[in-house]
Amino acid sequence: MRSARFSRASVLGNWSAVCCAFFVCLSSAGVTFAACGERLAAVERSVGLLVLELRTDQGTVREAESKTQGQEAIYQNLRLHPPEEYDLALARQIGKIRRTIVRPKRTLLVQLKEQHAATRRQWEQDIRLAHERFLEVEAAYRKRLLTEGAFCQAREVYAAALSRYRGGLEQYRTGLTLYTDALNAYREQFVVPCIRGYTNPALWQALITRFEREDFLQELLNALTANAIRSLPPETPPDAS
């Protein structure tokens, strides 16, 4: 039974197409050139596996976002239609915390997610261009317009580009994990206690005390910000803003 090879095109398309066709697609670019070594094939395989793992990670993100949106909707409804008896003084303190501390950090969290996604798109654009250039070189080699040495050198250049792309995907995956952790912390450590505080004001008091002692979500936001900077492709300057 012959083992399936990974096609180079399969790691450059959209995520769903990649995951559905990755193990069965063949392309002329996937041909092994023994004289050039196996580095490119090995890098392609590792990128392909990483793409499949990213699909799982993105499912985890969607699940966290769905849970968070559901709890936010419950909290919003309670703020608009509170029960007849609840601690109004504590509710006002919680409202101030939400407006001045939590809301700006929630906004920043969304912005950092979008920044990671934009960086991933830049990595995809860059590797797509590198892939197209390599296919042109490969076509020239097949027509015997290039020497074997020149072609092997081009393969090494493309393998290096693909390896950098793999690094970008790994950073993006780290960003997804940090974003999910921050979103879960926001939901479980703020939104859920805010909901339950309407019937158990001790939870509101504990939340107020916690905000006086801790810098809510800041450690995760710092890590996510640093990862966004590390994720940038080469020659892409950090956003000064």
Q: Could you tell me the two tokens for 179?
A: 């974003």
The pLDDT value given to residue 39:
87
Residue 130 resides in a domain: yes
pLDDT over 90 percentage in the chain: 78
Residue 107 resides in a domain: yes
- Report field, pTM of the whole predicted structure over 0.75: yes
Of the listed ranges 18-32, 105-119, 155-169, the least confidently predicted one is 18-32
Residue 85 resides in a domain: yes
DSSP labels, 52-116: HHHHHHHHHHHHHHHHHHHHHHHHHHHHHS--SS--HHHHHHHHHHIIIIIHHHHHHHHHHHHHH
Reported as a pLDDT band with limits 50, 70 and 90, residue 34 is low
Reported as a pLDDT band with limits 50, 70 and 90, residue 241 is very low
Residue 198 resides in a domain: yes
Read off the pLDDT of each residue in 125-144 and give the average, rounded to a whole number: 93
The count of structural domains within the chain is 1
Residue 213 resides in a domain: yes
Residue 22 resides in a domain: no
Whole-number Å distance between alpha carbons of 155 and 160: 9
**Could you identify the residue written with the tokens 């050198």?**
153
Residue 141 has pLDDT above 60, yes or no: yes
Domain enclosing residue 210, as ranges: 71-230
Is 198 within 8 Å of 82 (Cβ atoms)? yes
Residue 229 has pLDDT above 70, yes or no: yes
DSSP labels, 128-197: HHHHHHHHHHHHHHHTT-S-HHHHHHHHHHHHHHHHHHHHHHHHHHHHHHHHHHHHHHHIIIIIHHHHHT
Is 123 within 8 Å of 168 (Cβ atoms)? yes
Residue 121 resides in a domain: yes
Distance of CA 102 to the CA centre of its chain: 22
Reported as a pLDDT band with limits 50, 70 and 90, residue 112 is very high
Reported as a pLDDT band with limits 50, 70 and 90, residue 31 is very low
Residue 28 resides in a domain: no
Is 175 within 8 Å of 116 (Cβ atoms)? yes
